[in-house]
Amino acid sequence: MKNYLKQAAPCDRQALADAAGTSVAYLYLIGGRHRRPSTKLCQKLVAAEVKLSLSELRPDVWGVSETVAA
């Protein structure tokens, strides 16, 4: 998210925020890792912007899980 926000034009940031039902300020909080978006917000963000991924936004939920040897 941080890289996307750096590279995106202000109008693109606003369009993403509008599409996800949030604010640009909240996107910056997510990008700076001050806030973790809900799973529903993650899905809206990824649907609106193909450069974002669920595992990037919430690795604790959609990250690569390690298999435990039995």
What pLDDT, in 10s, does the model give residues 43-66? Answer: 999 999 999 999 999 999 988 655
Which of 42, 56, 40, 62 lies closest to 2, judged by CA?
Answer: 56
Please give the domain boundaries of the chain with CATH numbers for all domains: 2-62 (1.10.260)
Give the Cα separation of 62 and 64 in Å (integer).
7
Position with higher pLDDT, 68 vs 48? 48
- pLDDT reported for residue 65: 53
Write out pLDDT tens, residues 9-45.
Answer: 999 999 999 999 999 999 999 999 999 999 999 999 9
Q: Tell me the C-alpha distance between 46 and 29, whole Å.
A: 17
- CA gap 50, 69 in Å, rounded: 35
pTM: 0.85
Amino acid making up residue 22: T
